[in-house]
Amino acid sequence: MKTFTLAASAAFLSLMGSSALAQAPAPACTSDIHDDFDFWVGEWNVYAPGNEEGFGPYVGHNTVSRIHGGCLITEHWVNTAGAGGDSMNMYDPLIGAWRQVWMSNGWFIDYTGGLNEDGAMVLTGDSYTIQTNTRAELRGIWTLREDGTVSQEFEQKDAEGHWQNVFTGIYVREEDDPRAEEAEAARTGQ
């Protein structure tokens, strides 16, 4: 019995030691470049562009979080029909650029880039539509506006090689949204 107890105690202490080492926090991503996309982090109600306030009908909700010591930004999107998708966004030191990988049940995107001279995040790469088995060149542009909202635009190249807008969303922080109750009712179906 004594031998078993000593062996069990030794095994427990060994596991605790290796567990403590495994849980030691890794250095955070704290360089300035890791802050480039922070303007997009938050809880957002998303609207189509439009009216005098600069946004029209509610189109969905987006939760954008910075995790893992600031090394990863995750996105969880749900539109008014209940469909959604998720992305992982990170500064990729292997290529020296920002990268986003998006996945939903119908669309895959993988693109890279960084801040342009105006401070907008511009990512360019490929999108793949699962249902139609088609691939297209895609560009995403996120712009922090003077009023604290964020404009998100997606552009796709047409057959002649010209960029065409396929989506524009105006992101309004939930806590700053004068239409938050309306957005919540649309989101919950009440």
Its pTM stands at 0.83
The pLDDT value recorded for residue 24 is 62
For 116, list phi and psi in degrees, rounded to 5.
Answer: -90, -175
Q: Considering its fold, how many domains does the chain have in total?
A: 1
Does the structure show a pLDDT above 90 at 157? yes
Does the structure show a pLDDT above 80 at 105? yes
- Confidence category of residue 184, pLDDT binned at 50, 70, 90: confident
pLDDT tens per residue, range 70-85: 999 999 999 999 999 9
Please indicate, yes or no, if residue 129 is contained in any of the structural domains.
Answer: yes
Please indicate, yes or no, if residue 14 is contained in any of the structural domains.
Answer: no
State the average pLDDT over residues 104-117: 96
Please indicate, yes or no, if residue 95 is contained in any of the structural domains.
Answer: yes
Please indicate, yes or no, if residue 8 is contained in any of the structural domains.
Answer: no
Domain that holds residue 107: 32-188
DSSP string, 167-181: EEEEEEEGGG-TTHH
Please indicate, yes or no, if residue 24 is contained in any of the structural domains.
Answer: no
Q: Other CB atoms closer than 10 Å to residue 176's CB: what's the count?
A: 13
Class of residue 58 by CB neighbours under 10 A (exposed 0-12, middle 13-18, buried 19+) = buried
pLDDT tens per residue, range 121-153: 999 999 999 999 999 999 999 999 999 999 999
Cα-based distances in Å from 126 to 61, 68, 77, 95, 157:
24, 26, 19, 16, 10
Please indicate, yes or no, if residue 145 is contained in any of the structural domains.
Answer: yes
Please indicate, yes or no, if residue 6 is contained in any of the structural domains.
Answer: no
- Confidence category of residue 25, pLDDT binned at 50, 70, 90: low
CATH number of the domain at 77, please. 2.40.128.20
